[in-house]
């Protein structure tokens, strides 16, 4: 009976892989739901809609107002994609780029004209109507010009007084569900709105119209005085209506009024070669990891290989199903997560081999191995998941997109390791693969005296960190910048050229970019094509007037350009507010991880040591960026966040073993013995996990395009650093803290 059950389990696993493969290729139903071809791709992979707005009016806006508008507009367009970007062009223009979209008109219709929202009371100070319902047009219309309404004080609030607008579903007085829009106002706006609603209510429940982009989008009746800065607009029959009204109010609530200058559909920032090589790197890396696991762990390795294939296919399906925008760093992150997903299996299999070596049967060893590995797997993954949740809630743009992918990967990796791998492994055992040689046995390893080398390790780490800070100081003093900030952080110059022929992006990179590099030097060059035109957009570092002229002349001469070449200064696509949001999100995530580790291990020294190891890895990689002048762009954020998640996970595994061994300490054991034994016992896991993860990244370094290599190289350094800090530093730091601050009797 058990053999039949095992055969059925293996058959179901194979069927699941076949089904997921079919879904990945063809999707489900007529809409091809879940197909890889339906995955939303970012600007770097598939291009999207580019819209340029200009500030209305003749007065040049202040930089403060521009920065505020860009930041708020970024939050508005996040509804389309977390990878959408907003940046300044020149002194009064704002560009929006939304990936995955192919119709600029739809976006323009949904966005409307930013910054032209007003709340208008029914009557002016003399009792005259400001607006009325026109039955011929079947809508409310103004009885005088908007300028007159504003001048006589009837426009009590503008969009800048609204701090938030969200659609909600609630139950009305008749116990029926209804869709509403929740408005929140600034402190000053709340006071004005409270007074206006009080007068409207006393005057017979008059209306207050919401006027946006030349028409009334809602004219709700005031049924009571509204205080507290929160109001609700009811009466919408569908969620779509509520969402549209909320979106219009949000987009109209910007500080500046913007007018559309032009819109276009732009091509991918990277060519097809980037996608093809990254996918190839992932496939080869996956095959190598599976072969490695089978070679080292035999039957358990085969089980993990099956689970790993299911993991990758499920990851693709969920990315499509939840419409997660996938960028090239996202692809690299998924490829990296394939290596990290193996980690839980390595922990489990190492435990199984230990149990077999202790004399237990294979069946018992499998059961006990999963049980003993559970705490390390749960603590490591939950700690990283906490970081993902915090980054998703507080972060914006790249940070939020990374957090979503990370969170999905963590949940899936735990599911496949603890459920799929276990079922498949038990099924393989059940069909007759029961010999000990098929599972291996851990060899007795003499404890390595890691703590004896702690001072050397501390010195090496401090020296490497110091080199990074010295490099940043030297480059900063020389005026080259502490770090080599890319266009995403520092802004630059955008050059728009209308070529005499239509070019693909690969042709632009092969023919046009070398000309640009000859003029301004290599590095920090981004290119885009515009669909259905010969227009090419070249973004570079900020050019002075001589360099701009030289670039124009070189392009005109080389390609016989007939139309005028347009050049504009563009701002950073990652604003200071977004950077601050990212820093706050990382700090809060670190604090939350520290609290969780403190709670789980009942020892703040464990939490402090883990965070110090994490900070060490970040500083080493930061120094690597500084010394080798690697471009710091949006990929830098994803790289650092990946290292944070990887580092904390590796450290937790060692701390879990220290905790376990401390509970089993014998009288002759010292704390030094426990720490050395714990690190030695987990050393194989640390090396194997790092190796499988590094294989994926090395494949990117070998096969991918240069932009991905610049992402993969620091990532590889981070993986090496994470392994080093976990093995050589984290336990040593905990030991030093334990000696310096011994536990009280009730803690011991």
The DSSP secondary structure of 601-659, one letter per residue, reads HT-HHHHHHHHHHHHHHHHHHHHHHHHTT--BSHHHHHHHHHHHHHHHHHHHHHHHHHH
The pLDDT of residue 746: 47
pLDDT of 745 strictly over 60: no
pLDDT of amino acid 648: 81
Of the two residues 723 and 480, the one the predictor is more confident about is 723
Burial class (CB in 10 A: 0-12, 13-18, 19+), 654: buried
SS3 of residue 301 by DSSP: helix
Rounded mean pLDDT, 38-60: 75
**Matching fold, domains 48-114 and 492-570:** yes
**Does residue 513 surpass a pLDDT of 90?**
no
CATH of domain 492-570: 3.30.70.3400
User: Which range has the worst mean pLDDT, 10-14, 290-294, 314-318, 624-628?
Assistant: 10-14
Give residue 328's pLDDT. 64
Q: Average pLDDT of 182-206?
A: 90
Tens digits of residue pLDDT in 642-687: 787 777 877 888 998 898 888 888 878 889 999 999 999 888 888 8
pLDDT value of position 727: 92
Q: Which CATH number fits domain 2-25+270-438: 1.20.1640.10, 3.40.50.300, 3.40.50.10320, 1.20.1300.10?
A: 1.20.1640.10
For residue 323, the model assigns a pLDDT of 72
Whether 523 shows a pLDDT value over 70: the answer reads no
Contact in structure between 201 and 225 (CB atoms under 8 Å): yes
Measured CA to CA in angstroms, residue 715 lies from 77, 463, 622 at distances of: 30, 20, 11
Residues 71-90, mean pLDDT to the nearest whole number: 77
CATH of domain 48-114: 3.30.70.3400
Phi, psi of 370 (to 5 degrees): -65, -40
The DSSP annotation for 80-140 comes to T-TT-EEEEETTTEEEEEEET---HHHHHHHH-STT-EEEEESB-TTS-BSEEEETTTTEE
Q: How confident is the model at residue 277 (pLDDT cuts 50, 70, 90)?
A: confident
* 186-208 average pLDDT score: 90
Query: 250-254, 425-429, 452-456: which has the minimum mean pLDDT?
Result: 250-254
Class of domain 117-253: alpha beta
Q: How far apart are CA 722 and CA 690, in angstroms?
A: 9
pLDDT at 297 over 70: yes
pLDDT at 198: 92
Task: Give the CATH number of domain 451-469+575-740; options: 2.40.10.120, 3.20.20.60, 1.10.3450.40, 1.20.1640.10.
Answer: 1.20.1640.10
The pLDDT assigned to 506 comes to 78
**Three-state SS at 197:** helix
CB under 8 Å to 525, separation ≥6 — which residues?
Answer: 513, 516, 517, 538, 539, 540
pLDDT at 569: 84
Where are the domains positioned within the chain? Answer: 2-25+270-438, 48-114, 117-253, 451-469+575-740, 492-570
Note whether 625 and 484 are within 8 A (CB).
yes
Which of 103, 113, 55 is CA-nearest to residue 251? Answer: 113
The more confident residue out of 488 and 209 is: 209
Number of residues that make up the chain: 748
CA 355 centroid distance within chain: 40
CA-CA distance, 118 to 166, in Å (whole number)? Answer: 17
| CB half-sphere exposure, 642, CA atoms < 13 A | 37
* Spatial CB neighbours of 197, under 8 Å, sequence gap ≥ 6: 208, 222, 224, 225, 226, 231
What value does the mean pLDDT take over residues 2-30? 73
**Could you give the 3-state DSSP secondary structure of residue 493?**
strand
Mean pLDDT of the chain, nearest integer: 83
Q: Centre a 10 Å sphere on the Cβ of residue 444 and count the other Cβ atoms it contains.
A: 6
CB 722, CB 690: distance < 8 Å:
yes
Whether the Cβ atoms of residue 341 and residue 311 lie closer than 8 Å to each other: yes
Rounded Cα distance, 338 and 308, in Å: 7
Mean of the pLDDT values across residues 92-117?
75
- pLDDT tens, 530-586? 887 888 888 888 888 888 899 998 998 888 888 888 888 887 777 666 677 777 877
Q: What is the DSSP string of 709-723?
A: HHHHHHHHHHHHHHH
Q: Which of 185-189, 257-261, 594-598 has the lowest mean pLDDT?
A: 257-261
Q: What percent of the chain has pLDDT over 90?
A: 14
Tell whether the model's pLDDT for residue 167 goes beyond 60.
yes
Model confidence over 342-384: pLDDT tens digits? 888 888 888 888 888 888 888 898 899 899 888 888 888 888 8
Q: Report the pLDDT averaged over residues 219-239.
A: 87
- DSSP assignment letter at 451: G
């Amino acid at each position: 009976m058990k053999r039949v059950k095992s055969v059925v389990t293996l058959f179901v696993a194979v069927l699941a892989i076949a089904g997921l493969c079919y879904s990945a290729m063809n999707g489900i139903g007529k809409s091809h739901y879940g197909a890889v071809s339906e995955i939303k791709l970012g600007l770097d992979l598939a291009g999207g809609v580019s819209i340029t707005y200009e500030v209305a009016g003749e007065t040049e806006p202040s930089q403060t107002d521009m920065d505020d508008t860009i930041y708020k507009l970024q939050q508005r367009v996040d509804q389309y994609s977390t990878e959408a970007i907003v940046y300044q062009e020149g002194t009064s223009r704002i560009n929006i780029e939304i990936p995955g979209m192919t119709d600029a008109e739809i976006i323009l219709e949904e966005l409307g004209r930013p910054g032209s929202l007003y709340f208008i009371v029914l009557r002016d100070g003399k009792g005259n109507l400001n607006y009325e319902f026109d039955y011929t047009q079947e809508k409310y219309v103004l009885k005088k010009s908007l300028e007159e309404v504003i001048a006589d004080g009837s426009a009590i609030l503008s969009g800048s007084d609204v701090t938030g607008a969200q659609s909600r579903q609630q139950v009305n007085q008749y116990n029926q569900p209804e869709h509403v829009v929740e408005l929140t106002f600034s402190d000053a706006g709340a006071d004005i709105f409270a007074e206006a609603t009080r007068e409207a209510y006393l005057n017979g429940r008059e209306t207050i119209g919401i006027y946006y982009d030349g028409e009334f989008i809602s004219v709700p009746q005031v049924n009571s005085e509204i205080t507290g800065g929160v109001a609700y607009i009811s009466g919408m029959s569908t969620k779509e209506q509520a969402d549209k009204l909320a979106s219009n109010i949000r987009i109209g609530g910007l500080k500046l009024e913007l007018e559309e200058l032009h819109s276009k559909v732009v091509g991918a920032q990277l060519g097809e070669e980037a996608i093809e090589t990254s996918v190839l790197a992932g496939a080869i890396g996956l095959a190598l990891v599976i072969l490695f696991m089978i070679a080292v762990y035999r039957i358990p390795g085969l089980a993990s290989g099956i689970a790993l294939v299911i993991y990758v296919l499920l990851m693709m399906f969920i990315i499509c199903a939840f419409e997660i925008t996938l960028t090239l760093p996202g692809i690299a992150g998924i490829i990296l997560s394939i290596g990290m997903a193996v980690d839980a299996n390595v922990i489990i299999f190492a435990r199984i081999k230990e149990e077999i070596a202790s004399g237990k049967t294979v069946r018992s060893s499998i059961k006990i191995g999963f049980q003993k590995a559970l705490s390390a797997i749960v603590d490591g993954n939950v700690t990283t998941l906490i970081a993902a949740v915090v980054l998703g809630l507080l972060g914006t743009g790249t940070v939020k997109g990374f957090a979503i992918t990370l969170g999905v990967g963590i949940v899936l990796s735990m599911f496949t390791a603890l459920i799929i791998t276990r079922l498949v492994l038990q099924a393989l055992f059940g069909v007759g693969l029961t010999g000990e040689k098929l599972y291996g046995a851990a060899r007795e390893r003499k404890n390595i005296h890691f703590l004896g080398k702690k001072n050397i390790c501390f010195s090496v780490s401090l020296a490497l960190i110091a080199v990074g800070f010295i490099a940043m100081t030297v480059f900063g003093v020389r005026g080259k910048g502490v770090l080599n900030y890319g266009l995403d952080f520092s802004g630059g110059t955008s050059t728009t050229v209308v070529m005499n022929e239509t070019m693909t992006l690969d042709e632009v990179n092969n023919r046009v970019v070398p000309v640009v590099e000859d003029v301004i030097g290599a590095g920090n060059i981004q290119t885009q094509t515009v669909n259905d035109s010969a227009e090419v957009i070249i973004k570079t570092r900020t050019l002075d007037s001589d360099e701009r002229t030289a670039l124009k002349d070189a392009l005109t001469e080389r390609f016989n350009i007939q139309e005028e070449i347009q050049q504009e200064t563009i701002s950073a696509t990652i604003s200071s507010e977004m950077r601050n949001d990212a820093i706050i999100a990382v700090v809060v995530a670190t604090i939350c991880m520290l609290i969780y580790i403190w709670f789980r291990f009942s020892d703040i020294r464990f939490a402090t040591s883990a965070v110090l190891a994490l900070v060490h890895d970040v500083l080493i990689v930061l120094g690597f960026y500084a010394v080798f002048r690697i471009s710091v762009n949006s990929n830098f954020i994803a790289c650092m966040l990946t290292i944070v998640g990887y580092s904390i996970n590796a450290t937790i595994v060692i701390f879990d073993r220290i905790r376990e061994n401390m509970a089993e300490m014998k009288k002759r054991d010292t704390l030094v013995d426990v720490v050395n034994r714990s690190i030695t016992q987990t050393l194989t896991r640390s090396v194997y996990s790092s190796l499988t993860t590094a294989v994926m990244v090395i494949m990117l370094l070998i096969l991918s395009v240069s932009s991905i290599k610049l992402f993969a190289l620091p990532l590889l350094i981070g993986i090496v650093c994470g392994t080093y800090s976990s093995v050589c530093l984290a336990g040593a730091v905990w030991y030093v803290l334990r000696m310096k601050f011994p536990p009280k009797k009730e803690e011991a």
